[in-house]
Amino acid sequence: MQQCRSRTLERIRSIDYDTFCTQAHADFSPIGWHVGHIAYTEALWILQRLAGYPPLMPEYHRLFAQDGLPKSQRVKLPEIATVLEYLELVRSQVFEYLAIAPLEQQERLWKWLIQHECQHAETIAIVLALIESSSLRFGQIQPPKSPMYGGLQAGCSSFKVPQNGGFRGHSQASHTSEKFNNMILIPAGNFIQGSHEIEAQDNERPAHSVYLDDYWIDRHPVTYGEYRAFIEAGGYQQPEYWTAEGWDWVKSNEITQPLYSGKADQPVCGVSWYEADAYARFVGKRLPSEAEWEKAARSQNMLGEVWQWTSTWFAGYANFESYPYPGYSQQYFDGKHRVLKGGSWATFPWAMRNSFRNWYYPQVREIFAGFRCVVVKGA
Ligand code: AVJ
Ligand code: FE
């Protein structure tokens, strides 16, 4: 918990009050709200629910609860120092309780809470990237550079995709035609999807066996260099590559390139599901299902570069049981969110594993998301 907290605080180390309160985008709350919400959530689940303490600072309930104010009204925040004091007050009481807590019976909730902070810390990184770029009214957003992005900057070096490295070779990997260059054959068979580990979120459970036929998957996420070919071929101007919904979205938002910029050998970052889906069609491939992604991840390192869109709608696995509250995952089983896998360079390690499931609307491109493609033989 302390390591996670240090990294959260490092991420907001040198921001000013303006940055703390800015709503950079209608879909994202200000950074200061996320900080207060991290504290509020820790107080609610550990101090109130586990320890049975009365509500701490109830005046913050409306402001920092998930179901409190609409995002646009989360901009009137206490001073940075005041919110940080709240964070510290909650943490000191939590650690006092930890000394006597029956941790064996509570491990799942404590591990859930760490991952809750990780997810909000990633959203903070997204908001920072959006704010940093807001002076650039045209063109793409530059990758974060300032020291305020400490963690992000370190991540940017691992952002680079090795031409042929990283993967030691699948036992059955082979290449047939050019289309299959830099693709790996994942042989037909069953694998265990999801997780029953104590860290696993409700939506990763229960672990279950899934059979998949042979398929080929990209060795690395699609790079800016590769994606450029799509842009230069007029991909954003030609409806045949897009779903009807995607084409409407591209036209009405005048989208012509990914939101974030990068070098030719870096993974594309800042594309919506629609763009990922259209590119895949352009190269005669398709997006992987979540299961295809997850099975491949068993034999390939696929974590920590960019989140990767899949063709799967976010839904519960058979016998899903919500935890710790229906609003965490179940509320989003609405057939309107697509699953993302893998984790980005802004994801803390406690919330990054092959079975982890992220979800967003298909038009969201502010998150650190790219994609890789799959194809089956004969397709
Ligand atoms: C899974 C990242 C979409 O940040 O909205 C945080 C996770 N849920 N607090 C989000 C979450 C409640 C969620 N995402
Ligand atoms: Fe939350």
pLDDT at 164: 37
Q: Enumerate the β-bridge partners of residue 341.
A: 308
Q: Considering every ligand atom, which ligand is closest to the CA of 127?
A: 1
Residue 152 has pLDDT above 50, yes or no: no
Nearest CA to ligand 1 atom 3: 359
Domains of the chain: 2-135 (1.20.120.450), 147-376 (3.90.1580.10)
pLDDT tens-digit series, residues 210-269:
999 999 999 999 999 999 999 999 999 999 999 999 999 999 999 999 999 999 999 999
Of 119, 273, 344, 348, the residue with max ligand 1 atoms within 8 A of its CB, to mutate for a pocket test, comes to: 119
| Centre of ligand 2 from the C-alpha of residue 16, in Å | 23
> What ipTM, to 2 d.p.?
0.99
Q: Considering every ligand atom, which ligand is closest to the CA of 119?
A: 1
Q: Considering every ligand atom, which ligand is closest to the CA of 327?
A: 1
| Centre of ligand 2 from the C-alpha of residue 300, in Å | 31
| Centre of ligand 2 from the C-alpha of residue 116, in Å | 6
What residue ranges line ligand 1, CB within 6 angstroms? Answer: 66, 116, 119-120, 123, 328, 358-359
Q: Could you identify the atom of ligand 1 that is nearest to the CA of residue 359?
A: 3
Q: Considering every ligand atom, which ligand is closest to the CA of 42?
A: 2
| Centre of ligand 1 from the C-alpha of residue 22, in Å | 19
What pTM was computed for the model?
Answer: 0.90
Nearest CA to ligand 1 atom 12: 328
Q: Could you identify the atom of ligand 1 that is nearest to the CA of residue 123?
A: 4
pLDDT band at residue 140 under the 50/70/90 scheme: low
pLDDT band at residue 139 under the 50/70/90 scheme: low
Residue 161 has pLDDT above 70, yes or no: no
pLDDT at 378: 75
Nearest CA to ligand 1 atom 7: 119
pLDDT tens-digit series, residues 23-47:
999 999 999 999 999 999 999 999 9
